[in-house]
């Protein structure tokens, strides 16, 4: 009898745990689904940044003209004249001298990119860096056009998406496969002949299984960019390093947009610019490569590869008179932790290992969108008429110690998640549980 009672108790505990995970999964999806759809649309676009920007700028490449191009100094002067009151900041090192010169000038702390015809010095295009197509896509992806508040919302959605994936894997995990006649059907591949409900349930579960690892990778490698987690990570790095901490990634989209602006640039001697460009081309760095004018009070020019494949990035300081490389910083010169983050960011942006990297990113985004669509369809098919549809809390339901520990660990590792859990708990306890109609609709306990 004791054994039987223990068996019944264990079975009840499993049911409670399952429903609890189901409820977490349900509410995690409710929080993050709209934002995951937005990120799954903008993310794949950004994966193809090199190809898209090359397509947009194709009309300014390989321009047909006879004779020699004008000097780089003349092109820069044409650019600054087109934006009165501006000063020269950078020029892109193009391999073909018949390409339009890509010159960045600074005015009122704003960077403006100009495309200059190499021979007649006509302004072919002028656009603020912040208004370029891929910058707009990145702004939507990183902050939803809502500034710092949008950054926190995106970070919150990413944290809850991690919860959604982890709880989804728990719900998918087969508990007693030997007793199920279906075998691996519905676990490793969807059943297509058992009606609409089973079809959508299987599509949701099987898609989640196959993309979960990739989705978690994208979510985790995106954390260094976030404002809360990213700044906390930067503080931890600072505590571990006696020297001032610098990093090659930003804390949130707002900081990146600030970086697109610039302090006033000192007046620059351009007489050696053509020689500097010839020297830069000979170094054959991974494109795109920019040559930046010396900072205030300095004499060295900065040559930098901004390739999306971060492990291949190089930064050189060049003496304009001797045309010699004074210093060089490669990816392997960075700290080990920064190299790990660099690899992760390059993979996140689809630039680490070429087309396959991009294809995996697109596949993950399509999988996430499939999860979102199938989740909405399943909810619509099963929705009650008088409640939201979250699994009801059982009378004797208690948070298991193991689950409580997992929640605490996740809340510490993901501070925005932890703060949101505390806020939700307080709102639920102080407000929602005390309004009968709201409490019943959400399926909460009585206060």
Reported as a single tens digit per residue, the pLDDT across 67-85 is: 899 999 999 999 999 999 9
Distance set, CA 418 to CA 56, 160, 235, 322, 413 (Å)? 43, 10, 18, 56, 8
Pick from 46-50, 148-152, 428-432 the range whose average pLDDT is largest: 46-50
3-state secondary structure of 139: helix
Using 50, 70 and 90 to split pLDDT, how confident is the model at 278? very high
3-state secondary structure of 401: helix
Q: Please provide the size of the chain in residues.
A: 447
Q: Does residue 412 carry a pLDDT above 60?
A: yes
Q: What is the pLDDT of residues 130-189, one digit of tens each?
A: 999 999 999 999 998 888 899 999 999 999 999 999 999 988 888 665 544 456 877 888
Q: Does residue 264 carry a pLDDT above 60?
A: no
Q: What is the pLDDT of residues 188-235, one digit of tens each?
A: 888 888 888 999 999 999 999 999 999 999 999 999 999 999 988 888
E strand or H helix that includes residue 389? none
Using 50, 70 and 90 to split pLDDT, how confident is the model at 357? very high
Q: Are 146 and 252 in contact (CB under 8 A)?
A: no
Q: For a pLDDT cut of 70, what percent of the chain falls above it?
A: 89
pTM (two decimals): 0.88
Q: How far is CA 443 from the centre of its chain?
A: 34
Q: What is the pLDDT of residues 1-34, one digit of tens each?
A: 555 555 656 666 677 778 888 888 998 998 899 9
For residues 42 and 285, give the distance between their C-alpha atoms in angstroms, rounded to a whole number: 29
Using 50, 70 and 90 to split pLDDT, how confident is the model at 428? confident
The residue among 389, 403, 387 whose CA lies nearest residue 440 is 387
- The more confident residue out of 422 and 250 is 422
């Amino acid at each position: 009898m004791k054994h039987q009672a223990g068996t019944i108790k264990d079975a009840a505990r499993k049911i409670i745990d399952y429903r609890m995970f189901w409820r977490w999964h349900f509410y995690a999806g409710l929080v993050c689904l709209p934002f995951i759809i937005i990120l799954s649309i903008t993310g794949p676009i950004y994966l193809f940044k090199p190809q898209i920007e090359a397509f947009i700028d194709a009309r300014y490449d390989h321009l047909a003209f006879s004779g020699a191009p004008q000097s780089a100094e003349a092109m820069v002067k044409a650019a600054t004249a087109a934006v009165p009151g501006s000063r020269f900041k950078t020029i892109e090192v193009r391999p073909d001298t018949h390409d339009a010169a890509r010159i960045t000038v600074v005015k009122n702390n704003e960077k403006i990119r100009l495309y200059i015809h190499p021979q007649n010095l006509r302004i072919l295009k002028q656009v603020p860096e912040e208004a370029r197509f891929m910058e707009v896509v990145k702004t939507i992806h990183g902050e939803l056009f809502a500034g710092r508040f949008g950054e926190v919302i995106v970070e919150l959605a990413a944290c809850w998406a991690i919860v959604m994936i982890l709880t989804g894997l728990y719900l998918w995990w087969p508990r007693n496969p030997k007793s199920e006649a279906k075998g691996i059907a519905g676990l490793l591949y969807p059943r297509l002949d058992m009606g609409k409900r089973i079809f959508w349930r299987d599509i949701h579960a099987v898609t989640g299984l196959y993309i979960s690892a990739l989705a978690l990778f994208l979510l985790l490698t995106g954390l260094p960019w976030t404002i809360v987690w990213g700044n906390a990570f930067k503080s931890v790095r600072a505590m571990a390093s006696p020297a001032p901490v610098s990093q090659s990634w930003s804390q949130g989209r707002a900081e990146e947009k600030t970086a697109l602006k610039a302090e006033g640039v000192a007046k620059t001697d351009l007489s050696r610019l053509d020689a500097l460009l010839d020297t830069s081309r000979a170094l054959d760095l991974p494109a795109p490569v920019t040559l930046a004018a010396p900072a205030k009070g300095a004499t060295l020019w900065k040559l930098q590869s901004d390739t999306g494949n971060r492990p291949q990035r190089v930064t050189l300081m060049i003496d304009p008179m001797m045309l010699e490389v004074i210093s060089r910083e490669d990816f392997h010169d960075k700290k080990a932790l920064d190299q790990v983050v660099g690899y992760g960011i390059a993979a996140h942006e689809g630039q680490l290992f070429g087309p396959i990297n991009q294809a995996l990113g697109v596949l993950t985004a399509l999988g996430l969108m499939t999860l979102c669509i199938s989740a909405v369809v399943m909810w619509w098919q099963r929705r009650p008429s008088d409640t939201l549809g979250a699994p009801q809390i059982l009378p004797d339901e208690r948070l298991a110690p193991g689950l409580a520990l997992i929640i605490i660990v996740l809340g510490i590792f993901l501070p925005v998640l932890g703060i949101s859990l505390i806020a939700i708990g307080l709102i639920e306890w102080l407000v929602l549980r005390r309004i009968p109609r709201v409490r019943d609709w959400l399926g909460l306990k009585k206060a």
